[in-house]
């Protein structure tokens, strides 16, 4: 079996519950608690110590996924957090070594399988139905949406697969967005400029129409990873659910909504159905006036937006004894969701332009999965000298929100930042190996990308992108050979030892 082919165990995963059953086979990957927990800040406060990692304020750590079985105020609901907050766990759920995840995702893009629709009778996500027309319908009392911190603008759904169709072409897109519960049947939806679903919303709004949308929560993790691809790998009109199909080797199953003209993920734990209302905005923190939204991936709490679009909820459906899935914004869960598809996108673009030059790519946790990439360069001869910097330029093209690119040689482990910094220490000179690309649009949630931080920045969201070339010039490689040790079978001395 190829080491980029998914294992047979991962092929058994088709929804959230089968993913959990797979994790139970491994020590230290999954835990549950029966201790009652408050979803308002307490739940995230617990997991911050257990397994959040990422850019969460220290102390934190990499740890198991965790299910809270008793949520205060919500009978029969469980909450799962941290499912993807470990690269090793993602690798187990997708069935490949963690070093090969980018290669697997790249292959899945090229072998995508379009989703299919099944009947409502077959769809477990509609085992229980709550319509907004029902007496007493209130999404705030129905679903235990957590708040990450006491200063959040409100309860947020952070792991909802938002799915809608272009009102003109019928092409679909799935994305994860910041969703704040604003009332008994209203959810605000924050769009970073340029997102495809926002393009669909704008088209509908310009025609004076609402945009039907579904939010599927608690799904096969292959869907969550696939949903995080961005242009140019997945251009407008590319349905990222097809990537999940490629990852699993079978189509994602969808079902028609019970209250809106949109489709949802049939094996989801929970589905929220609604419509993005045209020409209607709310202040994101209208109930708290805190000026804060929720913790975001750079490690800071995002500013509440003054005017965000609103989803009018028409129905909530769910499985019996449902599991609501959530994440902490700055945790490694976000790093893996954003970073692994970014690695695949960079690897694909560079391989097409410069075959064989880049062996692997890593978007590490301190770089949030979006801002930093490390490229492992294989200089095969003097003709490759200089091409490593071309690869860095291609990386910026493959993912527009990338801020820093580190280039290292093939003998450096891109997944070990100690090794990367060692290369920067011994194979890099700041005046010769730093390439600045100023005045480039990046991502608005980086607080340093602002005129108040640097007078070189014209407007918020513009940055100076930087290449750190930590590779040895090809004609000097003989002077930079690492010490070579004897290859030995350590298990002779320590039975069961695994390198």
Catalytic residues: 296
Distance of alpha carbon 74 from alpha carbon 334, whole angstroms: 26
- Establish whether the linkage from the previous residue to 59 is cis, with ω within 30° of 0: yes
Q: Helix crossing, 87-94 with 332-353: angle to 10°?
A: 70
Hey, what long-range contacts does 430-438 have (CB within 8 A, 24 or more apart)?
A: 433/468, 433/469, 433/470, 434/466, 434/467, 434/468, 434/469, 435/389, 435/392, 435/466, 435/467, 435/469, 436/464, 436/465, 436/466, 437/396, 437/464, 437/465, 437/466, 437/467, 438/464, 438/465
- Identify whether the C-beta of residue 235 lies closer than 8 Å to the C-beta of residue 199: no
Write down the residue that tokens 């770089």 correspond to. Answer: 367
Distance of alpha carbon 207 from alpha carbon 199, whole angstroms: 13
- Beta sheet of 253-256, edge-to-edge order: 116-117, 253-256, 263-265
End-to-end CA distance of the chain: 20
- Identify whether the C-beta of residue 311 lies closer than 8 Å to the C-beta of residue 275: yes
Distance of alpha carbon 129 from alpha carbon 214, whole angstroms: 14
Q: What is the greatest pairwise CA distance in the chain?
A: 77
- Number of CB atoms found within 10 A of residue 479's CB: 8
Distance of alpha carbon 174 from alpha carbon 238, whole angstroms: 9
Distance of alpha carbon 85 from alpha carbon 333, whole angstroms: 4
Token code pair at residue 427: 């194979």
φ, ψ for residue 232, nearest 5 deg = -85, -5
């Amino acid at each position: 079996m190829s080491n980029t082919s998914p294992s047979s165990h991962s092929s058994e995963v088709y929804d959230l519950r089968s993913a959990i059953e797979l994790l139970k086979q491994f020590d230290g990957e999954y835990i549950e608690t029966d201790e009652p927990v408050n979803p308002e800040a307490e739940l995230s406060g617990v997991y911050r110590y257990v397994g959040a990692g990422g850019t969460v304020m220290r102390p934190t750590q990499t740890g198991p996924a965790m299910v809270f079985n008793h949520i205060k105020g919500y009978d029969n609901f469980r909450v799962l957090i941290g499912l993807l907050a470990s690269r090793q766990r993602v690798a187990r759920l997708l069935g490949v070594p963690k070093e090969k995840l980018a290669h697997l995702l790249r292959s899945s893009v090229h072998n995508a399988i379009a989703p299919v629709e099944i009947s409502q009778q077959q769809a477990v996500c509609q085992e229980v139905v709550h319509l907004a027309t029902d007496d007493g319908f209130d999404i705030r009392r129905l679903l235990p949406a957590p708040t990450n911190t006491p200063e959040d603008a409100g309860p947020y759904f952070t792991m909802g697969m938002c799915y809608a169709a272009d009102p003109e072409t019928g092409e679909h897109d799935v994305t994860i967005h910041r969703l704040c519960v604003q009332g008994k049947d209203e959810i605000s939806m924050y769009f970073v400029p340029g997102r495809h679903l926002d393009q669909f919303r704008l088209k509908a709004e310009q025609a004076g129409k609402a945009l039907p949308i579904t939010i599927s929560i608690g799904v096969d993790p292959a869907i969550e990873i696939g949903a995080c691809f961005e242009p140019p790998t997945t251009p407008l009109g590319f349905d990222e659910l097809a990537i999940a199909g490629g990852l699993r080797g079978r189509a994602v199953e969808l079902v028609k909504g019970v209250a809106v003209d949109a489709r949802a993920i049939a094996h989801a734990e929970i589905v929220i159905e609604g419509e993005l209302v045209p020409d209607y905005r709310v202040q994101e923190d209208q109930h708290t006036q805190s000026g804060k939204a929720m913790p975001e991936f750079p490690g800071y709490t995002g500013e509440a937006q003054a005017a965000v679009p609103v989803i009018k909820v028409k129905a909530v459906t769910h499985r019996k004894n449902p599991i609501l899935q959530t994440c902490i914004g700055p945790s490694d869960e976000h790093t893996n969701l954003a970073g692994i598809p970014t690695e695949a996108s960079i690897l694909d673009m560079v391989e097409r332009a410069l075959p064989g030059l880049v062996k692997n790519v890593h978007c590490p946790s301190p770089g949030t999965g979006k801002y930093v990439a490390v490229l492992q360069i294989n200089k095969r001869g003097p003709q490759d000298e200089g091409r490593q910097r071309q690869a860095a330029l291609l990386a910026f093209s493959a993912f527009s929100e990338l801020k820093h690119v580190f280039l290292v040689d093939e003998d450096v482990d891109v997944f070990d930042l100690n090794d990367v910094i060692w290369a920067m220490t011994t194979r890099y000179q700041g005046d010769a190996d730093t390439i600045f690309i100023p005045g480039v649009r990046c991502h608005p949630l980086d607080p340093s990308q602002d005129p108040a931080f640097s007078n070189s920045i014209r407007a918020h969201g513009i940055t100076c992108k930087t290449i750190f070339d930590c590779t040895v010039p090809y004609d000097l490689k003989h002077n930079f050979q690492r010490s070579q040790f004897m290859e030995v079978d350590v298990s002779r001395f320590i039975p069961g030892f695994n390198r």
